[in-house]
Chains A and B, each alone.
Chain A
Amino acid sequence: MSTESKTTKSLLLLSVVFTTLAAGFLASPSSQPAKQNISLVDTNFLDKSTWRRSYADLVKAKEDLSDFDCYACHEKNKPPPLRYDAEQHLIVPKEHPDIVMHHGSHERNNNCYNCHNESNLELFQTRDKHELKLADSAPLCGSCHGPTYRDWEAGIHGRTSGYWDRSLGAMDRKLCVNCHNPHSPKFPGRKPAPGPHPLREVETARGTPGRSGSDLHAAVNDPLASSPQSLRPGVPRAEAH
């Protein structure tokens, strides 16, 4: 009889264990962590095109080039006069509203004819009076920016796309003006793409020492979270600009 009662006892004990486990599993709706609401990234951030189109691109795409017909407004053989304000800043005529002259520090490059050819506005000219076509702007930039031009020719500076292996396909090297506005060449700022979402949101504030066990997964996918300098969204930023 003692064997039978032992068996019954152990079976009962096991039943209690299994029932507890089952209750535990049923209480939590899924063994998978709750899904966060992460929206898909805006496809604009996946766009591979350059932010400017060069004159060469427009010619290639056979687009409207009437904007580049200088002598629709200007008179031939009569260089347009340059006007300066009291502080010797170039006054850009209101007929060219898209031009903001900001090439070179300290406003030193404030003469249109440093690059444009005054006797033929449909051409460029370098400082040593070499004439260049509008589509051939890179050597014009290179006439001042020598080291950068050398790097660009080697593919070190600037954007490339296509094939690294030239035997399998062509490498497309973008022009200076695909990224830099020649009148204001500093690279413009832009909105960054969304930052990372940790697997589970971590509620950490600056100086909070403890981390609960439920944050373990987040810590794995987010090693910098434990660093006190790491700033979470919504936490006031000390070095804000």
Chain B
Amino acid sequence: MSAPNPNSPCSGSTNMDRRSFLRTSAVLTTGLAALAASLKPLMEMEDFPTAERFMQKYYKEMTPADMDKVLARITNEVEKQYGLRPHVRDYKPMDGVEFVYCLNLTRCIGCRKCVHACVAENNQSRNPEIQYIRVLKMPHGSLDIEKAEHNYDPAQVPEKGFFYMPVQCQQCKNPPCVKVCPVHATWQESDGITVIDYDWCIGCRYCEAACPYWARRFNFTKPEIPKERLNPEMSYLGNRPRRQGVMEKCHFCIQRTRQGKYPACLEVCPAGARKFGNILDPNSEVSQILRTKRVFIQLKEEIGTSPRFFYYFDV
């Protein structure tokens, strides 16, 4: 480095004639132009992290003051993007509460209203379409998910000889998705909800591969939500708009259930097939279902994930 570079044009004319200087310069210019052109995909990137987001602390290490700053940043970002001032909060788990979901397979008619109520509540991308709930149609007398169909579109449901099984995040007690996350961007909270910090997720999709229920969705492209369909009641770990390149999934409507309300999929179910509540309260609907109903299953219970989502039948 101390010796002058013999190829450098400013090192004098001892080693370089006019011709080779011009040739090198021409090649260099072409190369730089080509490099700039080949970086075109970077120019399409709109969502560069701001310094604030880049320097943000890990969720569990944030003080309430830190969280207030983050919530203000998210509020401004959403307002800038959608022209609508949202109400973003960080709802903490309630004491003495563990959520359980029960779904009555005898009652479900397969109308898919829960799918779309969930999309509306949780600000999922409409195009490309991201849905947390998938309704499987299976022939009576079997529970073989390999034989299930999810693209059914008859004139009327329910169809004779079939039953319907909506599948969403099972909020496992022993969640494989949490174990594989290399950056601890997903974890289980004390009320049983497995949450994702969208600002901490690096988008490696290990959790998607680990989930035996295919409950996690990845934002391959920039999510698209029409402004008029945006739900302004948002939570940090729940339904605030996501970015391209992060995972998302059902979180039992954190912004509703941690305020004591029922989740959106339950409210819309026309058949009353969905039941939700606190398993630690012996008088809650779910406690009574698990105590009195004769048959209930946990999907793929043999693999030891111990879901908090129970399917049952009645007469």
A residues contacting B by CB (< 8 A) are 3-4, 7-8, 11-12, 14-15, 17-19, 21-22, 25-26, 30-33, 35-36, 38, 40-41, 45-48, 50-51, 147, 151, 154-165, 167-169, 174, 179, 187, 189-197, 199, 217, 220-221, 223-224, 227, 229-233, 239, 241
Contact = CB atoms under 8 A, between A and B. Distances in A.
Interface stretch (B82-90, B181-189, B214-222): B214-222
Contact of A169 (B131, B260, B268): B260
Interface stretch (B71-79, B235-243, B277-285): B277-285
A22 B288 contact: no
B190 interface: no
Nearest to B285: A155
Given A36-B127, A193-B116, A241-B160, 5 more contacts: A7-B7, A25-B38, A38-B126, A45-B117, A230-B151
Contact of B37 (A25, A162, A230): A25
B210 interface: no
B6 A3 contact: yes
A194 B218 CA distance: 21
Interface string B252-273: 0000010111100011111110
22 contacts: A4-B16, A12-B27, A14-B34, A18-B37, A21-B38, A26-B37, A32-B221, A40-B229, A48-B268, A155-B288, A156-B275, A156-B289, A161-B262, A164-B260, A168-B260, A192-B154, A195-B112, A195-B151, A196-B151, A197-B129, A221-B220, A233-B151
The secondary structure that dominates the A interface is loop
B75 to A, nearest CB: 24
Task: Name the residue among B20, B40, B314 with the largest chain A CB count within 10 angstroms.
Answer: B40
Contacts of B111: 190, 192-193
Given A15-B27, A189-B109, A164 B117 contact: no
A223 B167 CA distance: 13
A33 B128 CA distance: 9
Nearest to A9: B27
A51 B272 CA distance: 12
Contact of B31 (A14, A47, A223): A14
Contacts of B38: 18-19, 21-22, 25
Given A157-B272, A169-B260, A195-B152, A164 B277 contact: yes
B55 interface: no
B276 interface: yes
B115 A193 contact: yes
Interface string B23-45: 11001101100110110110010
B126 to A, nearest CB: 6
Interface in B38-82: 38, 40-41, 44
B110 A192 contact: yes
Contacts of B148: 224, 229-230
Contact of A232 (B37, B147, B151): B151
